[in-house]
Amino acid sequence: MLSEELTRYIEALIPDREPIVQEIEAYAKEHRVPIMDIIGIEAMLYILQIIQPKNIFEIGTAIGYSAIRMAMKLPNARIVTVERDQERYERALFYIERTKTCDQIDVLFGDALELYNEVEKHAPFDVMFIDAAKGQYERFFRLYEPLLADGGVVITDNVLFKGLVAANEIENKRWRQLAKKIREYNEWLMRRTDYDTVILPIGDGIAISRKRGETK
Protein backbone atom coordinates (compact mmCIF):
# COMPACT_ATOMS: atom_id res chain seq x y z
CA MET A 1 0.00 0.00 0.00
CA LEU A 2 2.85 2.29 0.93
CA SER A 3 5.31 2.74 -1.93
CA GLU A 4 8.30 0.46 -1.82
CA GLU A 5 10.52 3.50 -1.54
CA LEU A 6 8.73 4.86 1.54
CA THR A 7 8.54 1.42 3.10
CA ARG A 8 12.29 1.03 2.80
CA TYR A 9 12.77 4.54 4.11
CA ILE A 10 10.75 3.96 7.28
CA GLU A 11 12.21 0.49 7.81
CA ALA A 12 15.71 1.93 7.69
CA LEU A 13 14.78 4.35 10.49
CA ILE A 14 13.53 1.57 12.76
CA PRO A 15 16.27 0.41 15.15
CA ASP A 16 17.73 -3.04 14.53
CA ARG A 17 15.96 -5.82 16.33
CA GLU A 18 17.73 -8.36 18.54
CA PRO A 19 19.61 -11.03 16.51
CA ILE A 20 17.15 -13.74 17.53
CA VAL A 21 14.23 -11.59 16.40
CA GLN A 22 15.96 -11.03 13.07
CA GLU A 23 16.46 -14.76 12.82
CA ILE A 24 12.71 -15.34 13.18
CA GLU A 25 12.07 -12.69 10.52
CA ALA A 26 14.50 -14.43 8.20
CA TYR A 27 12.88 -17.81 8.80
CA ALA A 28 9.47 -16.34 8.00
CA LYS A 29 10.76 -14.85 4.79
CA GLU A 30 12.45 -18.03 3.69
CA HIS A 31 9.45 -20.25 4.49
CA ARG A 32 6.82 -17.74 3.41
CA VAL A 33 5.16 -17.49 6.81
CA PRO A 34 2.88 -14.42 6.79
CA ILE A 35 4.11 -12.72 9.97
CA MET A 36 3.30 -9.05 10.50
CA ASP A 37 5.57 -6.74 8.54
CA ILE A 38 8.04 -4.53 10.37
CA ILE A 39 6.14 -1.26 10.12
CA GLY A 40 2.87 -2.92 11.14
CA ILE A 41 4.29 -4.71 14.17
CA GLU A 42 6.18 -1.62 15.34
CA ALA A 43 2.99 0.43 15.18
CA MET A 44 1.01 -2.23 17.01
CA LEU A 45 3.66 -2.58 19.73
CA TYR A 46 3.61 1.16 20.18
CA ILE A 47 -0.14 1.19 20.64
CA LEU A 48 0.09 -1.75 23.05
CA GLN A 49 2.61 0.14 25.14
CA ILE A 50 0.07 2.90 25.56
CA ILE A 51 -2.67 0.43 26.46
CA GLN A 52 -0.42 -1.54 28.86
CA PRO A 53 -2.47 -4.75 28.68
CA LYS A 54 -1.86 -7.39 31.33
CA ASN A 55 -3.54 -10.18 29.43
CA ILE A 56 -3.56 -10.67 25.66
CA PHE A 57 -5.29 -13.26 23.49
CA GLU A 58 -3.93 -13.83 19.99
CA ILE A 59 -5.58 -15.87 17.23
CA GLY A 60 -2.91 -17.00 14.74
CA THR A 61 0.48 -17.64 16.34
CA ALA A 62 2.25 -18.78 13.18
CA ILE A 63 5.87 -19.19 14.35
CA GLY A 64 5.45 -17.00 17.41
CA TYR A 65 6.85 -13.78 15.99
CA SER A 66 4.15 -11.32 17.08
CA ALA A 67 3.63 -13.07 20.44
CA ILE A 68 7.36 -12.98 21.20
CA ARG A 69 7.64 -9.33 20.20
CA MET A 70 4.68 -8.43 22.42
CA ALA A 71 6.18 -10.40 25.31
CA MET A 72 9.54 -8.66 24.94
CA LYS A 73 8.03 -5.20 24.68
CA LEU A 74 5.55 -5.75 27.52
CA PRO A 75 7.36 -7.65 30.27
CA ASN A 76 4.31 -7.53 32.55
CA ALA A 77 1.92 -8.99 30.00
CA ARG A 78 0.80 -12.57 29.53
CA ILE A 79 -0.18 -13.87 26.13
CA VAL A 80 -2.38 -16.79 25.17
CA THR A 81 -2.07 -17.63 21.49
CA VAL A 82 -3.65 -20.22 19.21
CA GLU A 83 -2.26 -21.99 16.12
CA ARG A 84 -3.73 -24.85 14.12
CA ASP A 85 -0.77 -25.67 11.87
CA GLN A 86 1.42 -28.23 13.63
CA GLU A 87 4.72 -27.33 12.02
CA ARG A 88 4.26 -23.64 12.79
CA TYR A 89 3.08 -24.44 16.31
CA GLU A 90 6.27 -26.41 16.94
CA ARG A 91 8.44 -23.66 15.47
CA ALA A 92 6.68 -21.19 17.77
CA LEU A 93 7.49 -23.33 20.81
CA PHE A 94 11.11 -23.52 19.67
CA TYR A 95 11.48 -19.76 19.32
CA ILE A 96 9.61 -19.06 22.56
CA GLU A 97 12.08 -21.34 24.32
CA ARG A 98 15.02 -19.60 22.69
CA THR A 99 13.78 -16.10 23.51
CA LYS A 100 13.05 -17.16 27.10
CA THR A 101 9.50 -15.89 26.85
CA CYS A 102 8.00 -19.20 28.08
CA ASP A 103 6.82 -17.65 31.35
CA GLN A 104 4.73 -15.12 29.46
CA ILE A 105 3.36 -17.05 26.49
CA ASP A 106 0.98 -20.03 26.39
CA VAL A 107 0.55 -21.53 22.94
CA LEU A 108 -2.55 -23.64 22.35
CA PHE A 109 -2.56 -26.06 19.42
CA GLY A 110 -5.78 -26.37 17.42
CA ASP A 111 -8.51 -24.49 15.62
CA ALA A 112 -9.42 -21.27 17.40
CA LEU A 113 -13.09 -21.95 16.71
CA GLU A 114 -12.86 -25.12 18.80
CA LEU A 115 -10.76 -23.97 21.73
CA TYR A 116 -13.15 -21.69 23.58
CA ASN A 117 -13.13 -23.77 26.77
CA GLU A 118 -9.35 -23.77 26.93
CA VAL A 119 -9.04 -20.08 26.16
CA GLU A 120 -11.75 -19.14 28.67
CA LYS A 121 -9.53 -20.40 31.51
CA HIS A 122 -7.16 -17.48 30.82
CA ALA A 123 -9.82 -14.75 30.48
CA PRO A 124 -10.65 -11.87 30.77
CA PHE A 125 -8.42 -10.25 28.16
CA ASP A 126 -7.45 -6.61 27.85
CA VAL A 127 -6.48 -7.09 24.22
CA MET A 128 -7.56 -9.59 21.60
CA PHE A 129 -5.46 -9.77 18.45
CA ILE A 130 -7.12 -11.41 15.44
CA ASP A 131 -4.58 -12.48 12.82
CA ALA A 132 -5.80 -15.80 11.40
CA ALA A 133 -8.03 -17.09 8.56
CA LYS A 134 -9.32 -13.93 6.88
CA GLY A 135 -12.69 -15.43 6.01
CA GLN A 136 -13.50 -16.08 9.68
CA TYR A 137 -12.85 -12.75 11.36
CA GLU A 138 -16.44 -12.13 12.36
CA ARG A 139 -16.77 -15.63 13.80
CA PHE A 140 -13.59 -15.21 15.85
CA PHE A 141 -14.77 -11.83 17.08
CA ARG A 142 -18.25 -13.03 18.06
CA LEU A 143 -17.01 -16.20 19.72
CA TYR A 144 -14.43 -14.52 21.90
CA GLU A 145 -15.83 -11.08 22.62
CA PRO A 146 -17.48 -12.33 25.83
CA LEU A 147 -13.94 -12.86 27.14
CA LEU A 148 -12.95 -9.23 26.54
CA ALA A 149 -12.70 -6.96 29.56
CA ASP A 150 -14.70 -3.71 29.66
CA GLY A 151 -12.67 -1.09 27.86
CA GLY A 152 -10.77 -3.93 26.19
CA VAL A 153 -9.39 -3.58 22.70
CA VAL A 154 -9.70 -5.85 19.67
CA ILE A 155 -6.95 -5.47 17.09
CA THR A 156 -7.59 -7.03 13.68
CA ASP A 157 -4.80 -7.44 11.15
CA ASN A 158 -5.00 -7.54 7.34
CA VAL A 159 -8.26 -5.57 7.10
CA LEU A 160 -7.15 -3.89 3.87
CA PHE A 161 -5.86 -7.13 2.31
CA LYS A 162 -3.13 -5.67 0.10
CA GLY A 163 -5.57 -2.97 -0.98
CA LEU A 164 -7.88 -5.55 -2.55
CA VAL A 165 -10.82 -4.51 -0.34
CA ALA A 166 -11.11 -1.42 -2.53
CA ALA A 167 -10.41 -3.09 -5.90
CA ASN A 168 -13.18 -3.15 -8.49
CA GLU A 169 -12.24 -6.39 -10.10
CA ILE A 170 -10.15 -9.21 -8.74
CA GLU A 171 -9.32 -12.03 -11.15
CA ASN A 172 -8.25 -14.66 -8.67
CA LYS A 173 -11.45 -16.22 -7.32
CA ARG A 174 -10.09 -17.10 -3.90
CA TRP A 175 -8.81 -13.54 -3.42
CA ARG A 176 -12.10 -12.11 -4.65
CA GLN A 177 -14.01 -14.13 -2.06
CA LEU A 178 -11.61 -13.18 0.71
CA ALA A 179 -11.74 -9.49 -0.21
CA LYS A 180 -15.53 -9.67 -0.04
CA LYS A 181 -15.38 -11.36 3.37
CA ILE A 182 -13.03 -8.74 4.74
CA ARG A 183 -15.14 -5.91 3.32
CA GLU A 184 -18.16 -7.39 5.06
CA TYR A 185 -16.20 -7.70 8.29
CA ASN A 186 -15.04 -4.08 8.12
CA GLU A 187 -18.58 -2.86 7.52
CA TRP A 188 -19.94 -5.01 10.34
CA LEU A 189 -17.19 -3.81 12.66
CA MET A 190 -17.79 -0.13 11.85
CA ARG A 191 -21.52 -0.59 12.50
CA ARG A 192 -20.91 -1.95 15.99
CA THR A 193 -21.84 1.00 18.16
CA ASP A 194 -20.64 -0.78 21.29
CA TYR A 195 -17.09 -0.44 19.95
CA ASP A 196 -15.12 2.57 18.75
CA THR A 197 -13.19 1.47 15.70
CA VAL A 198 -10.50 3.05 13.60
CA ILE A 199 -8.87 1.51 10.53
CA LEU A 200 -5.21 2.36 10.19
CA PRO A 201 -3.61 1.93 6.74
CA ILE A 202 -0.41 0.57 8.25
CA GLY A 203 1.13 -2.73 7.19
CA ASP A 204 -1.71 -4.74 5.65
CA GLY A 205 -4.31 -2.60 7.40
CA ILE A 206 -5.03 -2.77 11.13
CA ALA A 207 -8.41 -2.17 12.76
CA ILE A 208 -8.44 -1.08 16.38
CA SER A 209 -11.73 -1.46 18.22
CA ARG A 210 -12.21 -0.37 21.79
CA LYS A 211 -15.15 -1.77 23.68
CA ARG A 212 -17.13 0.98 25.30
CA GLY A 213 -17.66 0.83 29.07
CA GLU A 214 -21.08 0.35 30.66
CA THR A 215 -21.37 3.99 31.64
CA LYS A 216 -20.98 5.47 28.17
Provide, rounded to whole angstroms, the least separation between the CB of residue 7 and Mg ion.
16
Contact residue for ligand SAH among 62, 105, 148, 160 (CB under 6 A): 62
Letters for 107-146 (x = contact with Mg ion by CB under 5 A, - = none) are ------------------------x---------------
Q: What are phi and psi of 200, to 5 degrees?
A: -100, 130
Map residue 37 onto helix, strand or coil.
coil
**Do 136 and 162 meet the contact criterion of CB atoms below 8 Å apart?**
no
> Residue 42: which residues within 8 A CB-CB, separation 6 or more?
14
The Cα angle at residue 145 between residues 143 and 149, in degrees rounded to 5: 150
In 3D, which of 131, 81, 129 has the Cα closest to residue 102? 81
Contact residue for ligand SAH among 21, 133, 143, 164 (CB under 6 A): 133
Contact residue for ligand SAH among 51, 70, 79, 82 (CB under 6 A): 82
Asked if 157 interacts with Mg ion (CB under 5 A), we say yes
Contact residue for Mg ion among 66, 101, 104, 158 (CB under 5 A): 158
Binding residues vs Mg ion (CB under 5 A): 131, 157-158
